[in-house]
């Protein structure tokens, strides 16, 4: 068993200093939430930019920097996390917590199960983000009021879960424990489907515009908001979708079916059915997000 | 032919004091852009609320109030506009400009063609809005920086077009002249398709959630923005879609096809094709809306 420790006394290593990892470093630093912060990034410019902000004690390209850390947080795209885990398991000190911020949780927690017994793995997924990315998009307030999903493994100890919850609270988020497989089912609906729709909106618009880009002078806030996620980082999204294929395919096909149904109803001028469908969607949307 | 007059000297009647009409009354009033503003609304509460704001000289439920106006602006849903046009043509004084703010333009400009010869019709569609509606959602700044489409008819005189442009500029918008049929093709892509996708996202989420509304605790800004338009006013949207059926059905079916294609590519793990598609959509999105 591991000795438990408090976040306040911990050295935290963050691997990947993009939007999520960079914002976490800034949030922990701004709150003075832990003893030291170590940054790991292969990008030299990001490394310097992160050090310039004054919160990191050390930053560099080598995963071995994480060997001093009590908490190691992987903030890279999902499949990079899965690649990095074995190496992180090797460099991690006795009792170190290994956490990740990946967008899907089943594949990552599966990979965490085979980590050596001297480390304490736990999955995490803070429900926040932006369509801009990289350290230059990072901000200390990104996690504020976000739901911070934690997916403990069977081997995850209570003190490790408690420390992860404390970390979430320290950056202003609301920790919520969830089963990894259920997490992936849900985010296919609430996160991956919206990305797919936004991207497909851009693809469809480009096809229908037939090279007349002047159509976008008529694009107002509706188009802007519905298409926003299409600008997301492609590598991150591809990793996300590829590690949640079954759920995403079900969601995309269900949506395609509803769209076809809608097109048929509009063609047939089936106004009562359309009114009921739109009204129901409007009522649900207003219940979830109060104006 | 009509005597030309300036907006500054004009009495403007606005029929319908919801989000669009109410905001126009507030914007014209705040700018002191015209001589008098008359409001026409069947809703007694809206009538009082509008009068209370101090910009309207008179407000009431009868279309005949518009008989004193130099400019009559119909700001009701599209099919209500089409119903009201003949009556407005009857009450309008010699040389009065009849303009509308409807979301589709072909059906409305067709209906405007048969207005009596003593009036001056012109179609308009300001590209702005919100998912909240009614006079309580109205704001004087709604039109600021919006593209304000004008669709003149063959019979529309140059002074009428000039006055409509002046009105758009006075409320902070950018007037743009466009053919009515082409307008409808474009907004099917930039406005009606985003609404349909947002609404279908809510429908699909409800189906996949299987009555577990707790999934929405994981809905972050991505789901919020992509679904925003689903909360739009159902009557307004139904009128809009029903008067632009052909274009909307084409757009919905194209989008459904792209969604199916995407689902197949994800299932087959065709990552190169997916990457190219997402990257192209991301590049287009970033070109249209700078971060």
Placement of tokens 């489409």 in the chain: B149
CB B134 within 8 A of CB B18: yes
Phi, psi of A222 (to 5 degrees): -65, -50
Q: B127-177: per-residue pLDDT in tens?
A: 998 888 899 999 999 999 999 999 999 999 999 999 999 999 999 999 999
Residue B154, exposed/middle/buried by CB under 10 A (0-12, 13-18, 19+)? exposed
Residues of B in contact with A241 (CB under 8 A): 266, 274
The CATH class given to the A183-288 domain equals: mainly alpha
Q: How far apart are CA A86 and CA A76, in angstroms?
A: 15
Q: Do A230 and B189 make contact, defined as CB atoms within 8 angstroms?
A: no
Q: What is the pLDDT averaged over residues A158-164?
A: 97
pLDDT band at B4 (very low <50, low <70, confident <90, very high): confident
Residues in chain A closer than 8 A to B258 (CB atoms): 200, 203-204, 207
Give the dihedral of Cα atoms B147, B153, B155, B157; nearest 10 deg: 10
Measured between its terminal Cα atoms, the distance across chain A in Å is: 49
The per-residue pLDDT for range A269-283, each reduced to its tens digit, is 999 999 999 999 999
Q: Which pLDDT tens digit goes with each residue over A55-89?
A: 999 999 999 999 999 999 999 999 999 999 999 99
Give the CATH H-level superfamily of domain A7-178. NAD(P)-binding Rossmann-like Domain (3.40.50.720)
The alpha carbons of chain A give a radius of gyration, in whole angstroms, of: 21
Rg over CA atoms, chain B: 21
CA distance B169 to B205: 41
Q: pLDDT (tens digit, 9 = 90+) per residue, A174-196?
A: 999 999 999 999 999 999 999 99
Residue of A nearest to B240 (CA): A266
ipTM here: 0.94
Q: To probe the interface with B, which of A197, A207, A271, A274 has the most B CB atoms within 10 Å?
A: A197
Distance CA B200, CA A258 (A): 6
Would you say B104 and B243 are in contact if contact means Cβ atoms under 8 Å apart?
yes
The helix (H) or strand (E) run that includes residue A288 is helix A271-288
- pLDDT score, position A3: 61
Distance CA A136, CA B52 (A): 48
For residues B39 and B16, give the distance between their C-alpha atoms in angstroms, rounded to a whole number: 7
Sign for the pseudo-dihedral over CA of B283, B284, B290, B291:
negative
Q: For residue A230, what is the nearest residue in chain B, using CA coordinates?
A: B282
Residue A4, pLDDT score = 75
Domain boundaries, chain A: 7-178, 183-288
């Amino acid at each position: 068993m591991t000795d438990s420790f408090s976040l306040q006394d911990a050295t935290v290593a963050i691997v990947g200093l993009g939007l999520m990892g960079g914002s976490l470093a800034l949030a922990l630093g701004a709150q003075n939430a832990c003893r030291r912060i170590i940054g790991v990034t292969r990008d030299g410019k990001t490394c310097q930019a992160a050090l310039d902000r004054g919160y990191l004690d050390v930053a560099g390209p080598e995963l071995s920097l994480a060997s001093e850390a009590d908490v190691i947080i992987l903030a890279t795209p999902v499949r990079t996390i899965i690649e990095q885990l074995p190496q992180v398991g090797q460099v991690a000190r006795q009792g170190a917590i290994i956490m990740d911020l990946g967008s899907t949780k089943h594949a990552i927690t599966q990979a965490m199960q085979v980590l050596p017994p001297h480390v304490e793995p736990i999955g995490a997924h803070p429900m926040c983000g932006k369509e801009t990315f990289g350290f230059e998009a990072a901000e200390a307030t990104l996690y504020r009021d976000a739901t911070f999903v934690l997916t403990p493994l069977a081997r995850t100890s209570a003190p490790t879960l408690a420390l992860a919850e404390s970390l979430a609270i320290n950056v202003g988020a609301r920790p919520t424990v969830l089963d990894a497989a259920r997490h992936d089912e849900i985010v296919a609906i609430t996160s991956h489907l919206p990305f797919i729709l936004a991207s497909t909106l851009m693809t469809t618009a480009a096809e229908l515009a037939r090279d007349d880009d002047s159509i976008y002078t008529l694009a107002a806030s509706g188009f802007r908001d519905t298409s926003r996620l299409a600008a997301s980082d492609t590598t991150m999204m591809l990793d996300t979708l590829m590690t949640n294929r079954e759920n995403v395919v079900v969601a995309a096909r269900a949506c395609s079916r509803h769209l076809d149904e809608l097109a048929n109803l509009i063609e047939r001028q089936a106004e009562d059915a359309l009114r009921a469908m739109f009204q129901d969607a409007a009522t649900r949307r207003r219940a979830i997000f109060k104006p």
